[in-house]
Structure 1
Amino acid sequence: MLPAPPNFFIIAGPTAVGKSAIAVAVAERCGGEIIGADAFQIYRGLDILTAKPSPELRARMPHHLIGEIPLSQSFDVAQYLALAHERIAQVRARGHIPIVVGGTGLYLRALMRGLADLPGADPDLRIALEARPLADLQRHLCELDPACSASIDLQNPRRVIRALEVCLLTGRPFSSFREEWSADSSPRCGVVLTLDRETLHARIALRTTAMFEAGVVDEVSHCGELGPTSGQVLGLRELRALVRREITLAQCSEALAQSTRQYAKRQMTWFRREPALELIDIASLSTDELINRLTAQAATIKAP
């Protein structure tokens, strides 16, 4: 049996490629509404650091799942999926096309394929794992699941702990669940906007400079309590080091740009492995040609 056609259109891409402005223009032309798919933009606060769509863009078109969850609240892909399905249904009930925009691969894959049948968190085991040094957790994961240790971000404690938790609770490698999940067929349901590395890196540099000019240091200084998920926001560690005067402004800026470049590389590695998303080099088209092309594709997602 063929999978059901998607009832949403995805515009994905690496950080700083320009998804937000393009998605709003497409939504305006096809009668759509934006649904975020970003693990950190979903939080309320840290608007500059997480590069949320500007107030001007958000005023032009309804945006959902952006700036909705308190920074102190833990949040995961299962919670995202439930909320995203709810918002997609609401947008379609209004006769509009849901346009899912973001760069968090796990969220997008969950929308396209559902969730793998993984065990829930074990509070006692989670506490024990969180008390161990990251290097120790990395070594343990490499022993239990070498394939997983080569495919996840080993510098992200939350990801490493979750993978280890699944291995220990099920007696199976975490990667075996990911392989089953990835094997499911999925119809074409969106695009990935891409740029050559040099151009994307230049955009990342410009955006990093703009963040400092917009007051990102003050934003981080006064952000209040962060939960275990929001505490992993890209660039937070570097900016906190600057606030504590452990590094200089120049060092912080370079470290933030470097972290963003590395993140964009990881995003593209994931996107290239996803057959349900068409890669589009946006430098090969004029802005109007790109928007027209995406509008035509999004319009095939018929509202009820």
Structure 2
Amino acid sequence: MEYRKMGKWGLKLSELSLGAWVTYGGQVGEEIAEQCMVAAYEAGVNFFDNAETYANGNAEIVMGNVLQRVGWRRESYVVSTKIFWGGKGPNDRGLSYKHVYEGVNNALRRLQLDYVDLVFCHRPDRNTPIEETVWAMDQVIRQGKALYWGTSEWSAADIIEADKLARLNGLRPPSMEQPQYNMLHRDRFEMEYEPLFRNLGYGTTIWSPLASGLLTGKYNQGVPQGSRASLPGYEWLAKTMLRPEAIEKARQLQPIADDLGCTMAQMALAWCLLNPNVSTVITGASRVEQVHENLKALKVLPKLTPDVVQRIEDVLQNRPELDDF
């Protein structure tokens, strides 16, 4: 396992990490979650991603219970939470100081931790001034309940505004973004965020590197029973991700993976790591075998030579043109 700095900051994250979205507290129970976390940790994974909204908080409870049982040194791992969707009440969601304060405290209680390493603003909040959110996050840092704060799926303009407000007022600026990034979803990461990487040294913990499973090839013949797109509440995946043109690209990518002697998923994960602005790639797993298979992507990375990358680009036909930005 190799480790990358989180942008310009001193924190180091494993190139591949493990997230709780969809699986923990919902698709899998604590026993399987523990098996997956232990397998990842023993392979060098040091970052475990979570959020207050995952399985309505149950994902954090599961992860917290696992962390208590395994007894790893707190210095040896990094944990995140994300704040926005905390409940159904008028003040149980968003990025007001009230919800940030209460959301972080509730997440720590569920995780059974004194602090999280990373706390993200899970989405932009148009009902709360950015300056209030920046001040709220600064307070969380000063209270020792989180070490770094960042954003998830914010526009570059809003991130730059948050950074400016923080620096003008002597507050802690945001450090990292958690965006979607994969072979089929590139423009925001590679174009819009480019000034964030160049000027602010922003780190990234990317999600959906497999395009919600599309880049594994498992949807090439339709939606199999038991897949993520077939789960109740995730019907939107079938509508937004499983487009005919995207499935066709996945089919055309398969021979390239075959030539490399790897799975489509391993090639897609390795492709994300080619981008130096990726601090870590968040993977998911509903069984321990998936953890082991995903980790093999690290051995595929050296095989992605310029010639292979060009073959991939010839299929994708979606490389952003930075000169147009």
Q: Same fold (TM over 0.5)?
A: no
Specify which structure has the bigger relative contact order, considering alpha-carbon pairs within 8 angstroms and separated by 6 or more residues.
Answer: 1
Query: What TM-score do you get using the length of structure 1 for normalisation?
Result: 0.33
Query: What TM-score do you get using the length of structure 2 for normalisation?
Result: 0.31
